[in-house]
Structure 1
Amino acid sequence: MEATTDHRPGAGAAAHPEAVIERAEVRFTVLTPRLIRLEWSASTVFRDSRTQIVVHRALEVPRFRIVEDEHALEIDTGALRLRYEKGSGRFTEANLAIRIRRGDADLAWKPGDIQKANLGGTYRTLDRYDGDTWQDGSKLPIEEGLIARDGWHVVDDTEGFGIDDEGWVLERPAGERQDLYFFGYGHDYRGALADFAAIAGPQPIPPRFVFGYWWSRYWNYTDEELRTLGARFEKERIPLDVLVLDMDWHTTPGLSLRPGHEHKDVFGEQSGWTGYTFNRSLFPDPEAFMRWAHGQHLRVTLNLHPASGVLPHEEQYDAMAKALSWDTSTRAAIPFEGTSQPYMRALFDTVLHPLEKVGVDFWWLDWQQWPESKAHPGLSNTWWLNHAFFTEMQRDGDRRGLIYHRWGGLGNHRYPIGFSGDSVISWDSLAFQPHFTAMASNVLYGYWSHDIGGHTFHKHIPRPERHLEPELYARWMQLGVFSPVLRTHSAKEASLHKEPWHFGPPYGDAIFAAIRLRYQLAPYIYGAARHAYDTGLSIVRPMYYHWPEHEEAYEHPAQYMFGNDILVAPVTAPVGEDGAASFPVWLPPGLWYSRDGAESFEGGQMIERHYTLEEIPIFVRPGSVVPLYPEGLRNLASVPDALILQVFPGDEGATELYDDDGESQGYQRGDFARTSVRSRRGDRAQRVHIDAMRGHYQGRPSSRSYIVELLDAGIPESVEVNGVPLPYSEPPAPQTWLFDTASLCIRVDLGSVSLDEPQDIVARFTPEHTMPIGLLHRMRRAGIAVDYLKQVWGDISALPDDVDLAGQAARVLAYAVEEGDDEGRAERFMAAVLAFEARFEGLPASVDATPIDESFKRAFANLLGR
Structure 2
Amino acid sequence: MNFECLRCAAALLAATALSVPAVQASEPAMHGAAKPAAVVQRDHVRFTVLTPRVIRMEWSPDGHFVDAPSQIFVERNQPVPQFTTSTHDGKLQIDTASLSLTYTLGSGRFDASNLTVQSKGFKTAFTWHPGEADAANLKGTARTLDRYRGDTQLDTGKKLDLDQGLISRAGWHVIDDSKSFLFDDSDWPWVKKRSCAACQDLYFLGYGHQYEDILGDYAKIAGREPMPPRFAFGYWWSRYWNYSDSEFRDLVGNFGKYRIPLDVLVIDMDWHRTDGLSWDPKYAKKDAFDQLVGWSGYTWNKSLFPDPPRFLAWLHSQKLQTTLNLHPASGMTPDEASYPAFAKAMGVHNGKQIGIETADKRFMTSLFDTVLDPLRAEGVDFWWLDWQQWPDSKKLPGLSNTWWLNYVFYTHMHRASQDRAIIYHRWGGLGNHRYQVGFSGDSVISWQSLAYQPYFTATASNVLYGYWSHDIGGHMFADDVPEKERHIDPELYVRWMQFGAFSPILRTHSSKEAGLRKEPWRFSPEVFAALREVIDERYAMVPYIYTASREAYDTGVSLLRPLYYDWPDEAKAYDTPDEYMFGDDMLVAPVAQAMKDGAATVSIWLPPGRWYDRNRGEVIDGGRTISCDYTLNEVPVFVHAGAVLPMNPPSVKKLQDMDNGSIVLRMIPGGSATTRLYTDAGDSEGYRHGEYAFTAIEGHRDAHEATLTVAPRQGHYPGMPQAKQVTIELPDAAIPQSVMVNGRAYSRADAQQAGSWSYDGDTLTARITVPAQTVDQSLRVSVRFADDAVDMAGLRYRMKRTAAAVEWLKYHWDSPSPLPDDVSLAAQLGQLIDYHPEQLPILVRAFDERLAKLPEEVEGTHASPEVKAHFASMMKALRGA
Work out whether 1:6 is the aligned partner of 2:3: no
Q: Is the 8 A contact 1:92 1:112 kept in 2?
A: yes
Q: What letter is aligned with 2:753? A: A
Match of 2:449 in 1: 429
Work out whether 1:82 is the aligned partner of 2:101: yes
Q: Is the 8 A contact 1:448 1:485 kept in 2?
A: yes
What is the SS of the residue equivalent to 1:751?
coil
Distance 1:246 1:456, change over 3 A: same
Match of 1:862 in 2: 877
Match of 1:703 in 2: 723
What is the SS of the residue equivalent to 1:194?
helix
Return the alpha-carbon distance in structure 1 between the equivalents of residues 307 and 694 of structure 2: 44
Of stretches 807-816 and 749-758 in structure 1, the one that deviates more from structure 2 is 807-816
Return the alpha-carbon distance in structure 1 between the equivalents of residues 274 and 122 of structure 2: 63
Q: Is the 8 A contact 1:580 1:863 kept in 2?
A: no
* Deviation readout 1:20-73 (Å, 9 max, x if unpaired): 100000011111111111111111111111110001111111111112135001
The 5-angstrom pairing of residues 216-615 of structure 1 reads 216-255=238-277, 269-327=291-349, 329=350, 331-577=351-597, 579-595=598-614, 598-615=617-634
Match of 1:38 in 2: 57
Aligned-pair CA distance for 1:654: 1.9
Q: Is the 8 A contact 1:254 1:270 kept in 2?
A: no
* Deviation readout 1:620-673 (Å, 9 max, x if unpaired): 001111111121322111313421110001331122111100011100001000
Match of 1:765 in 2: 785
Distance 1:776 1:287, change over 3 A: same
What is the SS of the residue equivalent to 1:727?
strand
Alignment gaps of 5+ in structure 1: 258-266, 818-824
Of stretches 34-43 and 742-751 in structure 1, the one that deviates more from structure 2 is 742-751
Return the alpha-carbon distance in structure 2 between the equivalents of residues 269 and 456 of structure 1: 22
Return the alpha-carbon distance in structure 2 between the equivalents of residues 84 and 122 of structure 1: 33
Q: What letter is aligned with 1:510? A: A
> How high is the TM-score relative to the length of structure 2?
0.93
Distance 1:863 1:837, change over 3 A: closer
Match of 1:73 in 2: 92
Return the alpha-carbon distance in structure 2 between the equivalents of residues 478 and 685 of structure 1: 33
Match of 2:665 in 1: 645
1:197 to 215, 219, 229: 219
Q: Is the 8 A contact 1:646 1:708 kept in 2?
A: yes
1:839 to 840, 847, 850: 850
Return the alpha-carbon distance in structure 2 between the equivalents of residues 550 and 793 of structure 1: 50
What is the SS of the residue equivalent to 1:707?
strand
* Deviation readout 1:531-559 (Å, 9 max, x if unpaired): 10011111110011111111111111110
Aligned-pair CA distance for 1:242: 0.7
Q: What letter is aligned with 2:420? A: R
Q: Is the 8 A contact 1:336 1:343 kept in 2?
A: yes
Return the alpha-carbon distance in structure 2 between the equivalents of residues 32 and 268 of structure 1: 44
Q: Is the 8 A contact 1:785 1:863 kept in 2?
A: no
Match of 1:15 in 2: 34
Aligned-pair CA distance for 1:853: 4.3
* Deviation readout 1:335-380 (Å, 9 max, x if unpaired): 1001111111100000000000001100111001100000000000
What is the SS of the residue equivalent to 1:521?
helix
Q: What letter is aligned with 1:4? A: R
Aligned-pair CA distance for 1:164: 2.0
Aligned-pair CA distance for 1:777: 2.4
Aligned-pair CA distance for 1:465: 2.3
Q: What letter is aligned with 1:839? A: R
Q: Is the 8 A contact 2:615 2:634 kept in 1?
A: no
* Deviation readout 1:110-153 (Å, 9 max, x if unpaired): 11111111111110000000111111321111111111111110
Alignment gaps of 5+ in structure 2: 11-24, 280-288
What is the SS of the residue equivalent to 1:510?
helix
Of stretches 401-410 and 11-20 in structure 1, the one that deviates more from structure 2 is 11-20
Q: Is the 8 A contact 2:272 2:300 kept in 1?
A: yes
* Deviation readout 1:154-185 (Å, 9 max, x if unpaired): 01100010012322101123242110110111
Q: Is the 8 A contact 1:788 1:860 kept in 2?
A: no
* Deviation readout 1:320-342 (Å, 9 max, x if unpaired): 11111111x3x211110011111
Work out whether 1:627 is the aligned partner of 2:642: no
Match of 2:117 in 1: 98
Q: Is the 8 A contact 2:122 2:207 kept in 1?
A: no
Of stretches 246-255 and 116-125 in structure 1, the one that deviates more from structure 2 is 246-255
Match of 1:674 in 2: 694
Return the alpha-carbon distance in structure 1 between the equivalents of residues 5 and 256 of structure 2: 40
1:661 to 677, 681, 694: 681
1:176 to 198, 209, 212: 198
Q: Is the 8 A contact 1:629 1:644 kept in 2?
A: yes
Match of 1:821 in 2: none
2:232 to 194, 207, 210: 210
Q: What letter is aligned with 1:425? A: I
Distance 1:604 1:799, change over 3 A: farther
Return the alpha-carbon distance in structure 2 between the equivalents of residues 119 and 142 of structure 1: 9
Q: Is the 8 A contact 2:8 2:690 kept in 1?
A: no
Q: Is the 8 A contact 1:790 1:796 kept in 2?
A: no
Distance 1:727 1:322, change over 3 A: same
Return the alpha-carbon distance in structure 2 between the equivalents of residues 580 and 465 of structure 1: 23
What is the SS of the residue equivalent to 1:21?
strand
Return the alpha-carbon distance in structure 2 between the equivalents of residues 796 and 302 of structure 1: 60
Q: Is the 8 A contact 2:177 2:202 kept in 1?
A: yes
Q: Is the 8 A contact 1:6 1:12 kept in 2?
A: no
Q: Is the 8 A contact 1:251 1:277 kept in 2?
A: yes
What is the SS of the residue equivalent to 1:29?
strand
Return the alpha-carbon distance in structure 1 between the equivalents of residues 800 and 258 of structure 2: 27
Work out whether 1:716 is the aligned partner of 2:736: yes
Q: Is the 8 A contact 1:245 1:303 kept in 2?
A: yes
Of stretches 723-732 and 24-33 in structure 1, the one that deviates more from structure 2 is 723-732
Aligned-pair CA distance for 1:448: 0.4
Return the alpha-carbon distance in structure 1 between the equivalents of residues 301 and 258 of structure 2: 30
What is the SS of the residue equivalent to 2:791?
coil
> How high is the TM-score relative to the length of structure 1?
0.95
Distance 1:36 1:848, change over 3 A: farther
Distance 1:163 1:583, change over 3 A: same
Aligned-pair CA distance for 1:753: 1.7
Distance 1:791 1:583, change over 3 A: farther
Aligned-pair CA distance for 1:705: 1.6
Distance 1:74 1:333, change over 3 A: same
Return the alpha-carbon distance in structure 2 between the equivalents of residues 138 and 268 of structure 1: 23
Report percent identity of matched pairs: 50
Match of 2:133 in 1: 114
